[in-house]
Each structure stands twice: as C-alpha cells, then as structure tokens.
Amino acid sequence: MCGITGLVSYSDKGNQLFSKAEQAVSYLKFRGPDAGGSAQHENVFLGHRRLSIIDLSEAGAQPMTDASGRFTIIFNGEFFNFKEHREFVKSKGFPLKSNSDTEVLLYLYLIEKENCLQRINGFFSLAVYDNEQHELFLARDRYGVKPLLYYHDADCFVFASEMKSMLQYGLSLSIDYASLFSYLQLNYIQPPFSIFKEVKKLKPGHFIKLKAKKQFAVEETCWYSIPEQPITFPDYESAKKQIEKLTDDAVQRRMISDVPLGCFLSGGIDSSITTALAARHTKHLKTFSIGFRDEPHFDETAYAQAVAQMHRTDHTVFSLTNDDLYEILFDALDYLDEPFADSSALNIYLLSKHTRKEVTIALSGDGADELFGGYNKHRAEWIIRNHKIWTSTLNLISPIASAFAGSRQSKSGNLLRQVHRFAEGSKMASQERYWRWCSLSSEQDSRLLISGLSAEAIEHAESRKKSVTGLIKGGKDMNDIFRADFNLVLTGDMLVKVDMMSMANSLEVRNPFLDVELVNYVFGLPSRFKIDKSSQKKILKETFAHLLPEKIRKRGKKGFEVPLLKWFRTGLKSKIENDWLNINFIREQGIFNADEIRKLKQQLYSSHPGESAARIWALIVFQHWWKKYGAGFKKISS
C-alpha cells in the first residue's frame, strides 16, 4: 500500500509547481511510512511513498522504470494474482529483477497497454509515463477501493492519492456548493466530485490518457463496469457452491504478504465469514475487535469471541471506553482533508490504530452489505415492492412514530425513527425514496442551512443525484438498488471511511467481498437469492452456515453508534458554541444560515433531538476542515 502524486506542466507557470512537488510527496507519509521516491522526465514529475508489503527489498522501490528506461510506474495498491502473470512476462523476453507485483504490472503495461488492467485481481490507483511518446496513463480499480484525485487547467495536470497532497501545489481552488449541498444530505460528498469545483475523483473502473507535451481536454474512459444480469440463472444450490468457492479463493488471494496479516472481527456475518475462511489457510490467524464498555447495547465482542473460539484464532479484544474514542477525535478530524461525516469512521480509526501495533494488513468484510442486501433500507425497499399490506400498516402508526422519534443512540427512539422514515419513503417514487434513505437530512433542510444557495448549484446537485437514482428501475428484482449502492454508498462512504482511517495509521485493509470474480458472479444472480420475506443476505448466510456459531447466524445487523449526542451536550458543548458553530463566526464565514444553525442547536438540546446530532456532526466536520484547509481558498457565490 502506498501513496502517489504527480504533475504535468504545460507552461512556465506550471513549471513553478515543480518546486512544491516533493512537499506534496511528503504529505503522503502516513500512506507510505517506509520509503519515498520521485522521478522527473522533463515536464513530468512522479512521486511515491511506500508501505512495504510485497518484496520488502530495494528492488521493489518506486518509482520503478523498465530496463529500457522508457516507462516509469507509480502504483498504489495490490495486484493479488501477479504471480500467475510472471511467466507470461518472462516469456516475452522481459527480465524481472524483483519479486514485486509492481514490476510484473509495469511489463504487462508495456505488452498490452490499458488492456493489462483486465488481468489485475486487486485494488489500485496507478500512473505510468511513457517518456518516448510523452504519454501519461492513469487508472483506478473497479470499485474505487483506492482513491485518485486530479486537477487540470491550461498550465498543468496534477493528481494525488489524497487532497492534502494536492493542496501543496498551491492550486487555484474554489468551494463547490453543489458538493456541499449533497454533503449536508448524505454526510459525505457524492463521487466522483470533491469539495472543490476544480478537483475530481477518477471514477472507479476508469482510466485517463493524456499527452504531456500538449494540453487538451481530459477524458475518462471506462474499462470496467458491473455486468448486467444474464438471461438464465443457476439453481440456488449450485449458486451456493460457487459462492463458497469464489469467496474462499478471494480470501486466499488476499493473504499473500511479506508482512504480518490479520483480520478485523466485529462479530457480524461478513467479518466472521472472512475470518473463518482465512483461518483455513494459515495457522494462528490474528483477529482483532474493539468493544466499548460504556455502550453494552452496541458491544459485539461476545459474538467475535465465539467466532474466534470456533476457528481457534489468536484473538485480541481492545476493550475501550467512550473516553478512548473521544481522545482520538481530533486526530481523526485532522487527517480528513475533505468533509466526511460518517461518525463510525472514528471507530475504524481506533480499531486501525490498535491493530497496526500487531500487523500491517487486516482483512475486512466490507462490500458484503452492498453485494448481498444487508442494510435496513434493503429490507424496507423489499417490503414496499412486495407487501403493500405491511406498508399500509406501518403508515398508520407513522404519525405516532414521528412524534416520539428520537436519536439513533436510543434503541426505542431509533426504532420509531426508522418507522417514520419508512412511512415517509413509502409515499415517494422509488428513485426519490432511494436518495432519501441514503440521506441523513432532507434536501429542504439541507438547502435552508446554506446561505443563499444558488439555483445553479441546486441544478448541478440534482443532475448528480439523477446519475445515481437513474439506476433504480423498480420491479421485483432489487439488483438495481445494489448496483446504485456500489456507485454511491460503497464508493463515496464505506470505502472512503476505511481507506482514510486505516491509512492514517499506515494499515492496509483488504476486502475479499470486492473480488472481481465474486462481484461479477453475485450480480448475475436474481435478488431473491439474496433477500426474501424472511432473510437478508440469504444465500451468503446459508452458504457459510456451517462455519458460523448459531448465535451469529440468527442475529440481526447492528452497528456501533458514536455517542455524538452525549458529547455535544457535555464535553464538546463549549467548542460548538464558542468555535465551530459560534453564531458570529457563522455570519462572518458567509457559508451557512445563522438562523437555521441556531434552530438546529435548539433541537439538539431539546427532549426530541431527532437527527440533529448527525446533522450537527456534518457541520462540525466541515467547520474543522474549513479552519484547517478551506478558509484560504477562493470563496465564490453559493
């Protein structure tokens, strides 16, 4: 795992940025604490920071150049099946001097150019420069596990793994209010956009080719998309056998390493399956869980212990308190170089911090909920599409639920909140319902928070929303929902959360459920194999039932909620009132509506806080980011 950055200059003004390039590399040090390197070919700079995973020797260092000196690569990620292609590369007469996956990939690019991407089973962002044709090639993995941002104007093209690296170049940037508008709804920025108008994220499964000697429009080309469903389906039992094989293969591939490796083990279905399969392929597998003594309702360590005992793993429980979570709050906020308000990122930060003391790599269960239908919204959508009677019944009690709905951190309040959201969504068209259920805040409430939000920004945000909701077709089969989740929730929220918080602690996280062979196969199955009247993730649970303790098989989905409401009413109250959401500062800042902020704070401190804690958190994260990064950039009309 590594971090990459690069620069192409098209003018004298662009040339001035070369003096800042090494500093941009240094800002990726947490992604690559082991080594750093750079290369410059006339008007092209490539920089790399290394977290050594495969071939720890100098032979695996980057930037890496082929024997002819023509091609140079910087690579962030893992090419798990690279050994399968070593002999092919050698048969073409290319000498391999290392045991690294990067070198195999470099020569595959020489042989096949962009077609080599189809050979990669793994996750990555990469850049290859051809100093004979003066062509720069950039690519990103199929599902967006590894980030890659870019900026271009008449003077330069700049790219990097993280925004904090890009900011070192001193680019001319301005706040994107369409992004801010969607952020206040979703609590993250909708991909492939960023908080800045001028910076984009390369779409998953896309590449860019550009000439380094002549500036021209940058175009992304799609090299992978999730395949559409086949006309015929396998029978259910055959599908179970294939899923078991593909998942086991995916886990086994991701265990290749020259450094210590372990598993996150939350006690949920997905991490338990990953652990069970990984334990087949190594002795004394290390597994890691966090539990919070102050939040027994959300503490899953007993379930994790049951899995660890069944599969005889070397299990470690980090038994923590809310104070431990609070202590890393500002460290986590400081690492975020773009507003991102999924509060569970704090848990990932804390788990990664402690896990990194024992291993350099952790397997996780990320992606399974989106792939197999594990979210509460999937159950709610299934009910609406299949059971009108249930929908009518829940609508009848919605007014009561609305009156007493509380925050997520109360079990009863959260249940009433969910009933109200269900009833609200059931009255919407399927596309609007999907967006609303992905959001923490409504469009109307989010619009009111921004001072003088322009019609143009609203129009841009609406167009972006439709690029996702347009995937929703309705009907009995729910693969449209899962496909939309891959495009929005997985890429914009879940993978960003894990990538940023693990990289902040120099820990590589690998996701077996995002293996291309597994994803392609599962999307080829009818959704009734995944969700029906009695079960979510049905085929996944039934396939691996023999590897799971009974208490795991029967439990519902549960996540840990960060105690935001408690913090905001106690330890963080003065920080909210005197700093982040100080009304005088809000007015001077000129971004948010001070009157709406005041109303939201009043709700927060009331007996019926509703979703106010999550909405306040989104504002806090933005303000913390603004004070560190945003205040120095152009402020344009909202």
Q: Which residues are catalytic?
A: 2
Q: How many other CB atoms sit within 10 Å of the CB of residue 602? A: 10
User: Looking at this protein, which amino acid is placed at residue 508?
Assistant: E
State residue 589 phi and psi, 5-degree precision: -65, -40
- C-alpha 246/C-alpha 269 separation (Å) is 17
Strands 361-363 and 206-211: unpaired
Least Cα distance to 561 among 440, 383, 421 occurs for 440
Nearest to 537 by CA among 609, 624, 478: 478
Question: Are the CB atoms for 308 and 320 separated by under 8 Å?
Answer: no
CB atoms within 10 A of CB 638: 18
Q: Among 156, 150, 148, which Cα is nearest to 43's?
A: 156
Beta-carbon contacts of 44 under 8 Å, excluding residues fewer than 6 positions away, are: 6, 7, 8, 9, 129, 131, 134, 136, 212
User: Directed axis angle between helix 101-112 and helix 83-91, to 10°?
Assistant: 50
Q: For residue 137, give the DSSP letter.
A: E
Question: DSSP of 281-304, one letter per residue?
Answer: SSSS-EEEEEEETT-TTT--HHHH
Query: Where on the phi/psi map is residue 316: left (φ > 0), alpha (ψ -120 to 50), or beta?
Result: beta
- Collapsed DSSP state (helix, strand, coil) of residue 404: helix
Q: Which residues contact 177 (CB under 8 A, 6 or more apart)?
A: 450, 453, 454, 457, 636, 638
d(CA 255, CA 252): 5
Check: CB of residue 531 under 8 Å from CB of residue 378: yes
Cβ-in-10-Å burial (0-12, 13-18, 19+) of 429 comes to exposed
Question: Which contiguous run of DSSP H or E holds residue 48?
Answer: strand 44-50
CA distance 349 to 356: 10
